[in-house]
A and B are shown apart, each in its own frame.
Chain A
Amino acid sequence: MVFSSDARWEMVDEITRQTVTYGTYKQTLGAVLGDLTVKPLTGIPVAVAALYAFWSVFTSFAGELVTDGFMVKFFDGLWLPWFQAIWPDPGSWHYFLFIGNPAADTCFEAFGMLTSGLFVSVGVVLPAVFVFYLMMTLLEDSGYLPRLAVLMDTVLHRIGLHGYAIVPIILGLGCNVPAVTATRILETKKQRFIMMTLLAIFIPCGAQLGIMMSIIPDLIGVVILCLIIGFGIFGFVLNKIIPGENPEILVDVPPYNWPVKEYVIKKLWNRTKGFLKEAVPFVLLGILLVNLLYLGGVIQGLANLFEPVFVTWFGVPKETVGPLIAAFLRKDLAIAQLSIIPMTAYQMVASVVLVTIYFPCVATFVVMLREGWKELIAAIAVLFVVVFIYGGLIHAVGILLGVA
């Protein structure tokens, strides 16, 4: 027997009337906090503070303590010299593939699979991603996330999304792979497409952020500013040109909870494990493939071919073409590679921004494909246009400011 929706609600009301009695109680601390954090006057400062805290834990713990304090010393001081000493035949192809540059002093410069590959994935990216997932899990399990969504809705609704788009965005700052999956919480095709495209283009993943932090600490703010501005501009444009609905936010705001330690740990473990399984092999294979392409002369060929575009349109050195090819495999690697090319501050910012907005990494590509190949092709088309326009725009601004 099937009822109409109204009849069902009548039954619900009647059953509730017969089985539930509501008493009066004093407002709990959680409810008071809940109110305060969703009201704009108090909520926005709290949100800023929360995100700032998020960021500072991220930089100080992952960046300074683990990566600089331990991993860099270990990899540059012990790991690299040891491999350079024991691997036979520095001039050979296998030395180039696995160890890289025999004269390198740091794991950033060596660029071998076993040196830079392991250093980047385990030494730099893993701590960043770990801290990131921890913060994300706490935000989620405490119930703060929906409130953040409500606060962000005002802005995000203008670019065709709604407040809950903050979830794929935050997740994307960790890794784009789960973020693409999370776009499913948006209701319409249009919203999902806008979100996916913006994710792939403008949201740097935790790996990239981690690398940026360790190689261009002074310029990271400028890079992020460029990305936020681009996100806003192209979000607005996409919202205008893509047909479809842009429904408003309608969400449940659950009460605050203390995150349960064991679930936080479990979730953290699952996510970190997922990262290790999906990302680390890609980094290693990525280095291998890029090194093979170098050996085969493919990268040099492409660099020569695209040189005019990069030099005249984007205003960056032609050496950046190599890293841009590598970016298809792992963007974080590409940034690491950029760091050893001598460049001016402007060129550095422009090329890092380009790498970020350029093609999503292979893993993201695969999950996007899973969401639909038509969308993927459309997203790639948008991406080419955006890279071309935005890269040129940054160059133009650079020229106007007299730095390019």
Chain B
Amino acid sequence: MLTELSDLPFGATAIVREINTSAHDLNCMGLRIGKELKMITKQPIKGPVVVLIGELEIAMGLEIAGRIMVETGTDI
């Protein structure tokens, strides 16, 4: 199932499928299509989210997260 990264619940894992915003920057930080990530933290009142990708931990604003589509539920 394809959802926005910002909607990914805390603790869930998913695979990155689409990046519809500043893809180059996100790629450089280690967030790329096909990578598996895990939601570590969501800050309250529309604060940033923190995801774990392998050994990398990246924090990003909620709007950015909203433009990243991830796939869940494929038993990963």
Q: Which residues of A contact B (CB under 8 A)?
A: 5, 9, 22, 34-35, 38-40, 43, 146, 149-151, 153-154, 157, 162-163, 247-255
Give Cα A254–Cα B52 distance, bound, in whole angstroms: 11
Q: Which residues of B contact A (CB under 8 A)?
A: 22, 24-27, 29-30, 32, 40-41, 43-48, 50, 54, 56-64
Q: Is the CB of B59 within 8 A of A251?
A: yes
For the complex of A and B, 9 pairs with smallest distance between CB atoms: A248-B61, A154-B47, A253-B57, A150-B59, A250-B60, A39-B41, A153-B48, A251-B59, A249-B61
Give Cα A249–Cα B48 distance, bound, in whole angstroms: 7
The 21 listed contacts between A and B (C-beta, < 8 Å) are A34-B57, A38-B40, A40-B43, A40-B44, A43-B41, A150-B59, A151-B43, A153-B48, A153-B59, A154-B43, A247-B61, A248-B60, A248-B62, A248-B63, A249-B48, A249-B59, A249-B60, A250-B22, A250-B25, A251-B29, A252-B59
New A-B pairs, 16, CB < 8 Å, besides A40-B41, A250-B64:
A5-B24, A35-B41, A39-B41, A150-B47, A150-B59, A153-B43, A153-B61, A154-B44, A163-B59, A248-B63, A249-B61, A250-B29, A250-B59, A252-B56, A252-B57, A253-B59
Contacts of A43 in B (CB 8 A): 41
State the majority secondary structure of interface residues on B.
Answer: mixed
Contacts of A5 in B (CB 8 A): 24, 27
Contacts of B61 in A (CB 8 A): 153, 157, 162, 247-250
Contacts of A163 in B (CB 8 A): 48, 59
Contacts of A38 in B (CB 8 A): 40-41, 50, 59
A252 touches which of B29, B45, B54, B63 (Cβ 8 Å): B29
Closest chain B residue to A187, Cβ basis: B25
Contacts of B27 in A (CB 8 A): 5, 9
Contacts of A250 in B (CB 8 A): 22, 25-26, 29, 58-61, 64
Please judge, given known A-B contacts A5-B27, A9-B27, whether A252 and B58 are in contact too, CB under 8 Å. yes
Q: Is the CB of A150 within 8 A of B50?
A: yes
Give Cα A278–Cα B56 distance, bound, in whole angstroms: 39
CB distance from A21 to the nearest CB of B (A): 13
Contacts of A255 in B (CB 8 A): 57
Closest chain A residue to B40, Cβ basis: A35
Contacts of A251 in B (CB 8 A): 29, 58-60
Give Cα A38–Cα B57 distance, bound, in whole angstroms: 11
Please judge, given known A-B contacts A38-B41, A153-B47, A154-B47, whether A248 and B64 are in contact too, CB under 8 Å. yes
Contacts of A151 in B (CB 8 A): 43
Contacts of A153 in B (CB 8 A): 43, 47-48, 59, 61
CB distance from A204 to the nearest CB of B (A): 27
Contacts of B24 in A (CB 8 A): 5
CB distance from A186 to the nearest CB of B (A): 14
Contacts of B30 in A (CB 8 A): 252
Closest chain B residue to A162, Cβ basis: B61
Closest chain B residue to A35, Cβ basis: B40
Closest chain B residue to A43, Cβ basis: B41
Contacts of A253 in B (CB 8 A): 50, 57-59
CB distance from B25 to the nearest CB of A (A): 6
Closest chain B residue to A163, Cβ basis: B48
Give Cα A345–Cα B63 distance, bound, in whole angstroms: 46
